[in-house]
Structure 1
Amino acid sequence: MSATPGGGPTQTDGPAAGAAERLGMKPGMVVQELGWDSDSDDELRIAIEDAIDADMVDGDYGNVVDAVVLWFRDEDGDLVDSLVDALTDLVGGGAIWLLTPKVGRANAVDPTDIAEAAPIAGLSQTTTAAVSKDWAATRLIAPKTVS
């Protein structure tokens, strides 16, 4: 970001930076990335890491995370299992951003499959966001735990 002559911020990082903002990514967050593959959107990944001012952590992190970015394709197996695995390190009340190929793209995930899998995994579906040319994001919330 740079400042305009009027003092307000000007977005200079392209559309992916706006997508990271729509995902609620903020500096200091610990974000775990699962399901990365060569077809994942690198611009979006970089924008998320820029937004949190750190690298995303992987599945071996072993500590609590504020959010999970889960890349999932129709060919990746059982969505419920992947969502349950994504909950392993997620802090209570944290969000899983399920990134799936957009409808009409190879390996797209039917939105009804997401709607059916989320409650089985103990998650609530809250919103969807357009995050890149080829990927859609669905926000899934884990229940808050009482300590």
Structure 2
Amino acid sequence: MNQTASQKAEEFGFKPGDIVQEWLWDDDVDDSVRAQIEKLTGEELVDEDYDSAVDGVIVWWRDGDDEDELSDTIVDAYSVLGQDGPMWILTPKPGRPGAPGSSTVQSAAQTAGMNAATPLTVSPDWNGIRLRAFGKGR
């Protein structure tokens, strides 16, 4: 891959028309990632209060947030995710403020019954980790 996922949003696995739910937004998120997802899907991101099924999920996660809370957030987000759509945990890259320890997302994902993939660079300051339910997909 020659471009970051923010420049090539289809790397997230989202498609035109998808409704993507965003969890734990704050003013430190990378708006270019958000804009590229919205451009690809043609839909605005919906927040965690959205109460219908969604086609994909992104969760912005930072160190200092409670790991058990991340597990709970993963379970809550997965419960509204239709047809096993893409779920991503976005974290600050190592060395950036808020970067979690290397095992934090993996541990929270396992607690929630999910597998965590290898991190993917999604912007200069953020990595993305795709989650899948145990026994699902590649």
TM-score by length of 2: 0.85
Contact 1:92 1:144 (C-alpha < 8 Å) held by counterparts = no
- Mapped partners of 1:19, 1:138: distance in 2: 16
Aligned residues: 132
Show structure 1 runs of 5+ residues with no match. Answer: 1-13
- Mapped partners of 2:84, 2:4: distance in 1: 28
Taking only the aligned residue pairs, the percentage that are identical comes to 42
CA shift, 1:128, in A, is 2.4
Q: 2:31 matched to which residue of 1?
A: 42
Cα 1:77/1:19, change in 2 over 3 Å: farther
User: Which is greater in Rg?
Assistant: 1
Structure 1 segments of 4+ aligned residues over 6 angstroms from their partners: none
Contact 1:100 1:137 (C-alpha < 8 Å) held by counterparts = yes
CA shift, 1:54, in A, is 0.7
Q: 1:105 matched to which residue of 2?
A: 96
1:115-134 alignment runs, 5 A limit: 115-134=106-125
TM-score by length of 1: 0.80
Contact 1:27 1:51 (C-alpha < 8 Å) held by counterparts = yes
Q: CA RMSD in A?
A: 2.1
Are residues 1:88 and 2:85 paired? Answer: no
Which structure features the higher share of strand residues? 1
Deviation digits for residues 83-113 of structure 1, max 9, x if unmatched?
2222231124222110000011111012211
